[in-house]
Amino acid sequence: MIDPNAVARARRALGRQLAKYRRAAGLNQHQLAPHTHYGRSTIANVEVGRQNVPRRFWERADATLGAGGSLVSQYDELTSLVQQQRREIAEASANYPVASNEQVIPVPTRRDVFGYLGAGLTSAGLQQIAARWPAGLPRVVHALEATRHAELRDSATLENLSTLIDHYKRTFRSTPPAGLYGEILGVRLHAGSLINSAVKAKSGPELMVAAGWLSNLLALVTHDLDDRAASLVWCADAERCAGEARHPELAGWAAQTRVLMSFYGGQAKDAVAHAQRGQRHAPLGTVAHAKLLTQEMRAWALLGNADKVGATRRRADEAIARLPGDAPTRGAFSISLTDDPPYTATSLLLLGLYQDAAEAARRVIAAFYGLAGEGRGAHPSGFACTYLVLALAQAGLGKLDEAYAAGSLALDAPRRVRPAPDDGSFS
């Protein structure tokens, strides 16, 4: 078995190497940041082993600092170590007996949500909340408890949470929200109990980041379930985690969910304000910053301001051009990359430019789903949303047969789709 602390030690060692090469090159963290397409805070977190970054970051840093491939080589060794440890953890988890838990866990009430944030930060609170599920906590929480080591600095705990968060991010858009909430909530409660126990441990900031991502996921799920109050609570919690962990992109994604709530509630000015505030949190070069610009563009379209739409679209194009090559393009906290920024078709539709909106929607369909719809399974909500925009655009052009055909495809989606605000604008 791998030493459970080996990954954390290797990550800190790699961070120290980055700092050494940076200082040798005569650069401070602010000066290095633009070369990696990340912010200064990311450089600082990476140098102390607090934040994971993709291989593209290390390739750019290696080339900028003249490390001769040393940084990339060490990153590859770290990746191999992480993968081996995850395989061993998975094998151990497979042998851990838990009761069957196939049914969908009931979505907690709004009152429960407020109680979870208080009681859930202690082990006693976790046990208390477990009693509210008829079949007990989700089996994923049993797996987390089974693989949890006594030492809270143990990197295996963090790697387990990181693996789960990546899984939820990838599968979020293809999974019905009612089945997701109970499971993610259980994992969030588990992370909260660890934070309370690790206040003075070095793993505290990493656990806070994990809790922030889980709260952001819960904010999105409750938004999809039409529970605005619960979603606002989870947004606030994600922002709190972002502040304590000094992880500004987390706050940017929480602002993204606030934008969604305002936009779909027909509160376009609030949507613009939340989008602009989120951009101040999430630095240029992050997916959150680019996505917030596209959300701002769509909100300006709802206000009917074509000039602002055009200006914001140009800024979104520039932000997308600054994204790393491995920026996520599927699932939660991602951005779809085509010839147009996301929400271009919806923005054109809201401005009454039906022909342009239909053409933009077709470009998205051709890029992601295929003319026969063969790609709908990977992102069913995106597929349905795009076809619904196309249907509304065709209806605006008076092409009712084409509108009916596109709308019928949209209605096959397993998730609720809302390309336009819930204010009767398109009734």
Domain ranges of the chain: 6-94, 343-427
pLDDT digits (tens, 9 = 90+) for 121-177: 444 444 554 555 444 556 666 556 555 544 444 556 777 888 889 999 988 877 888
Give the angle 193-195-201 at the CA atoms, nearest 5°.
135
Residue 67's pLDDT is 94
Long-range pairs for 370-374: beta carbons < 8 A, 24 or more residues apart: 373/409
Q: Nearest 5°: phi and psi at 296?
A: -65, -40
The DSSP secondary-structure symbol of 101 reads: -
Question: Comparing C-alpha atoms, which of 355, 336, 337 is closest to residue 345?
Answer: 355
3-class SS of residue 122:
coil
The DSSP secondary-structure symbol of 147 reads: T
Residue 162's pLDDT is 87
Handedness of CA 370, 376, 378, 383 (dihedral sign): positive
**Class of the CATH domain delimited by 6-94:** mainly alpha
Sequence-distant (6+) residues with CB within 8 A of 369 are 375, 376, 379, 383, 386
Task: Point out the residues of the chain with pLDDT beneath 70.
Answer: 1-5, 85-156, 196-203, 370-379, 413-427
Residue 91's pLDDT is 56
Count of CA atoms in the C-beta half-sphere (13 A) of 245: 28
Neighbours of 200 (CB within 10 A): 7
